[in-house]
Structure 1
Amino acid sequence: MRRLLKWFAVATTIGMLFVLIGGALVTKTGSGMGCGRSWPLCHGQLIPSNITAELLIELSHRVVSGVVGLMVLILSIWAWKAIGHIRETKFLAITSFVFLVLQGLIGAAAVVWGQSDVVLALHFGISLISFAAVFLLTLFIFEVDKKFDAASVVLDRKMKFHIYGIIAYCYIVVYTGALVRHKQASLACPSWPFCAQTRIFPTQLHEWVQMGHRLAAGLLFVWILIATIDAMKRYKRQPIIYWGWLIALILVSCQVATGALVVFTELNLYVALAHAFFISCLFGVLSYFVLLATRSKKEKETRHESNVIPSAVLK
């Protein structure tokens, strides 16, 4: 039964990735109104008669989101019963389902009543929180075998600052990227890294939105690079931290590279979807770091424990 739970958790995590990428696909292809002002039906019909590419993309995203939503609900209940003794399980189970429902309601409201670009930009970020919760639930399910104990990780205050600060800042970067998509500002600046070859600074709103996101993403890359160098210097004996930050650096590098390629390829769809994929994976890795930070012992406490002479020895 536990093996089945593991497979189901992995499938649900992959399903959440499809929800995230599907949402990006809807936005990138301008298919948000593919089913008109009708939800959950499409143009008021269960089976639409006039099939278009935009309709197929929007309807497919709704179907996938619905199926995955049901999977998340099942996983939440199943995990609650199977590993509810782990302190974070119930919180993550509730978070994963509630935020997935919330992103669905925002999407439905956007279709039926319309929403501003500022509100719509929240859609991807809310889905990302649900994905991170499902991802961590999956890790908990595998952790039950005690092949790896997160509580054995030792982190100092500086590393915890990097972890908490970077994931919070990463969420801001995600929002600015979503705002770029919903403002249709992906190609507002025809050059990279500057807005244009003849000038550095933007001159109108769409250019400011685009360059604001580039600056935010650039700072995220630098911060992760600093944290990775710190991990490589001081955490060689803790492979999960050492390699985890290297993976984070690779993912953020891919994120920056695909961001540049979006401009150079003039919004190639596959490159744009890869851009969304890499930030989703990066947020998942950072979420795991948060888990490690909340469970780890303080470095001073660990040193103190190692210096205490057991009473049996004294006797």
Structure 2
Amino acid sequence: MTKTLKWLAVVSTICMIFVLIGGALVTKTGSGAGCGKSWPLCEGKLLPSDITPELIIELSHRLVSGIGAMIVAVLSFLAWKRLGHIREVKFLSFMSIFFLVLQALIGAAAVKWGQSDFVMALHFGISLISFAAVFLLMLLIFEVDKKMDTSRLFIQKKHRIEIYLLTCYTLFVVYTGALVRHAHASLVCKDWPFCTNNAPFAFADFRLDQWIQMGHRLAAAVLFIWTLSLFLRTLRYYKGNKVMFWGSMTLIILIFFQVFFGAMVIFTTLNLGIALMHALVISCFFSLLCYYVLLSGRCASNSTVKTKRNTTDLEHYAKS
């Protein structure tokens, strides 16, 4: 059963990647209305006769999302049933299904009734949380045979808090990036990293879409500096720990690629492949951060248990 769960977890994670990239593809190609105002059918039919590229993209995304939802549901059920004794499994099983359904409902509402750019920008972040939950569930399943044993890992409290804050801030940066796409602000600044457009730089002359673009760039710059700072301190405090060292190394590589692809989106005037890579890299970055949130939670729990044991021992010693 463990082997079956592993394969199912890997397939579910791959499906969720396609769901994420498919959603980004729909947004970047403007294919959200490819099936008209009909959902889950397309133009009120299972297969419309008038086939357009936008229809193919939107219908394919719906199909992949539906298949992915069924596979994730099976994974969540089996993981809950077989590995429910592991404290994070039930929570992650629920999260993966809940946020997958939530993002589908938001997408359906946008098709049927339309939504503002600020609401639709939530869509990618919700999908990202669902993907991260499935990804963590996969890692927990692979931990069962102790080949990925992290039980001895200790993360200092101040660094645990920083990991929590950095993860939440990453979601905020993701939201601002999604807002750039939905507000059609991707190319309102022709240069990078500033927004001069071959004119004197003046904040007072910015339009709303330029403020959205530059707000995202500023938020992304803070994320880059924060990640770099955390990486350097990880080398100092955890240089002997492989999980912390290689994890932080992967994070810094991902954030470098994220900044690179973000700049290339501007220089290539919104090349579709580069834009999709931009979405994929931040998804991997956020999911890895979530893994460290999970490890931090374990460390906090272990510290609490250890403190209670020490208190109990001291009380017993005082009574004796």
Q: Normalising TM by the smaller chain, what interval? A: over 0.9
Match for residue 214 of structure 2 among 211, 214, 234: 211
Q: Which residue of 2 aligns with 1:118?
A: 118
CA distance in 1, matches of 2:281, 2:252: 11
Q: Which residue of 2 aligns with 1:287?
A: 290
**5+ residue gaps, structure 1:** 309-315
CA distance in 1, matches of 2:259, 2:181: 16
Contact 1:156 1:298 in 2 (8 A): no
Q: Which residue of 2 aligns with 1:165?
A: 165
Q: Which residue of 2 aligns with 1:231?
A: 234
CA distance in 2, matches of 1:201, 1:22: 37
Structure 1 letter corresponding to 2:177: G
Is residue 17 of structure 1 aligned with residue 24 of structure 2? no
Q: Which residue of 1 aligns with 2:264?
A: 261
CA distance in 2, matches of 1:148, 1:201: 52
Task: Provide, for residues 6-32 of structure 1, a one-character-per-residue CA deviation record: whole Å limited to 9, x for no partner.
Answer: 011011001101101100000000000
CA distance in 2, matches of 1:54, 1:200: 38
Q: Which residue of 1 aligns with 2:316?
A: none
Q: Which residue of 2 aligns with 1:313?
A: none
Contact 1:251 1:278 in 2 (8 A): yes
CA distance in 2, matches of 1:33, 1:234: 51
CA distance in 2, matches of 1:169, 1:128: 14
CA distance in 2, matches of 1:105, 1:64: 15
Structure 2 letter corresponding to 1:198: A
What is the number of equivalent residue pairs in this alignment? 304
Secondary structure, counterpart of 2:87 in structure 1: coil
CA distance in 2, matches of 1:8, 1:65: 16
Q: Which residue of 2 aligns with 1:198?
A: 199
Secondary structure, counterpart of 2:46 in structure 1: coil
Task: Provide, for residues 105-158 of structure 1, a one-character-per-residue CA deviation record: whole Å limited to 9, x for no partner.
Answer: 000000000001111000000001100110110001000011233331111122
Q: Residues 192 and 144 from structure 1, CA distance in 2 versus in 1: closer, same or farther, beyond 3 angstroms? A: same
CA distance in 2, matches of 1:264, 1:38: 37
Percent of pairs with identical residues: 58
Secondary structure, counterpart of 1:88 in structure 2: helix
Structure 1 residue 198, shift from structure 2 partner: 3.1
Secondary structure, counterpart of 2:118 in structure 1: helix
Structure 1 letter corresponding to 2:170: C
**5+ residue gaps, structure 2:** 314-320
Structure 1 letter corresponding to 2:78: W
Structure 2 letter corresponding to 1:135: F
Q: Which moved more, 1:29-38 or 1:146-155?
A: 146-155
Structure 1 residue 201, shift from structure 2 partner: 4.4
Structure 1 residue 229, shift from structure 2 partner: 0.2
